[in-house]
Amino acid sequence: MSDKIFLEQNAQNTLNIVEALQFYRDNAIKPKYKNLIDEQLSEMGQQLKLQNINILFDSGEKRFNFGDIVQYENKEAIITGMSNEDSFIKISIIENNNFKFLEVPICLIKEVK
């Protein structure tokens, strides 16, 4: 598709779109397609730069993904989602043969190797 489409967005809406694409790339898309999202983000960054808008793009590898097995307070846990609180993450542990869901500071989570 070679047609160019111009969308009118304010800076905050553009940032929301960029963050959504980064979240999608890191958590929902198959690894073999991640480069397509990276290319799209790069193109958006170039277009924004022409408009004198600077947005920091997170291109680094994510520390955790949904479904990862991690350690919290010396117990194994599974990452189940993002918290509404900044720097928190949702996890699930097994306690008394039942799943227990917690929102914990991401700094207290350790990778299981």
Convert the pLDDT of each residue in 77-112 to its tens digit.
999 888 888 778 899 999 999 999 999 988 888 888
Separation of alpha carbons 78 and 61, rounded Å: 19
Q: What is the pLDDT of residue 70?
A: 92
User: Are residue 45 and residue 74 in the same domain, yes or no?
Assistant: no
- Tell me, yes or no, whether 56 lies in a domain: no
- Tell me, yes or no, whether 58 lies in a domain: no
- Tell me, yes or no, whether 41 lies in a domain: yes
pTM: 0.55
Tens of pLDDT along 29-75? 888 888 888 888 888 888 888 888 777 666 555 667 788 899 999 99
- Tell me, yes or no, whether 4 lies in a domain: no
Separation of alpha carbons 87 and 12, rounded Å: 20
C-beta atoms surrounding 38 within 10 Å: 15
Instruction: Name the domain count of the chain.
Output: 2
State which residues form the domain around 75: 69-111
- Tell me, yes or no, whether 25 lies in a domain: yes
Separation of alpha carbons 65 and 27, rounded Å: 6
